Amino acid sequence: MPRTARVTIENGCYHIITRGNQKQKVFVEHRDYEKYLSLLARYKKKYRFKLYCFCLMPNHVHLVIEVNNTYVLNKIMRSLNLSYTLYFNLKYNKVGHLWQDRFKSKIIEKDAYLIGCMNYIEANPIRASLVANLTEYKWSSYNLHYNNDNILNSLADI
């Protein structure tokens, strides 16, 4: 049975979720998170999308991005997920799929729901009991938004 087509819109804003295959960890050590963020910065520059927020959890990723046209969303995520998979599999001597299924995307209207979605995403480390305070979690955009802590210069213009 064929997959249903992804709903995309011109100048769309999306909540993206991509999860590790069988909920496995996709980030094992700090260098893995850093690599993903460097790839995100590379593809942000290449495809010129807006990044509103992100949160890298041990076994999944949340992004809120805005794209100018409908076809670029798939290109961004294909490039990002493939590049990171190649890195991960080489580093950890693995083969095959890293990500479960295709990424999920939900269209977000840029109103109060966008702020609520960003708050939900950035609070993930608390809900998962990874940290007691969000300022302690280095792998989300929380510190960029609320503490003006520039953890990743190339994404500072979000």
The pLDDT tens digits of the residues spanning 48-86 come to 999 999 999 999 999 999 998 878 999 999 999 999 999
The Cα 71–Cα 78 span in angstroms is 12
The pLDDT tens digits of the residues spanning 19-42 come to 999 989 999 999 999 999 999 999
Domains of the chain, residue spans? 13-151
DSSP state of 153: G
The Cα 54–Cα 51 span in angstroms is 8
The Cα 50–Cα 66 span in angstroms is 5
Q: Which pLDDT score is estimated for 1?
A: 53
Q: What is the pTM of this model?
A: 0.88
Task: Kindly state which CATH superfamily the domain 13-151 is placed in.
Answer: Transposase IS200-like (3.30.70.1290)
The Cα 86–Cα 82 span in angstroms is 6
Task: Specify the 3-state DSSP secondary structure of 68.
Answer: coil
Structure tokens at 87: 């890195």
Burial of 121 (0-12, 13-18, 19+ CB in 10 A): buried
Structure tokens at 25: 């960890």
Residue 24 — φ and ψ, nearest 5°? -70, 160
E strand or H helix that includes residue 130: none
The pLDDT tens digits of the residues spanning 100-132 come to 988 999 999 877 788 899 999 999 999 999 999
Q: Which pLDDT score is estimated for 145?
A: 79
Q: Which pLDDT score is estimated for 101?
A: 87
Which DSSP string corresponds to 19-73?
A: EBGGG--S--SHHHHHHHHHHHHHHHHHHT-EEEEEEEETTEEEEEEE-SSTTHH
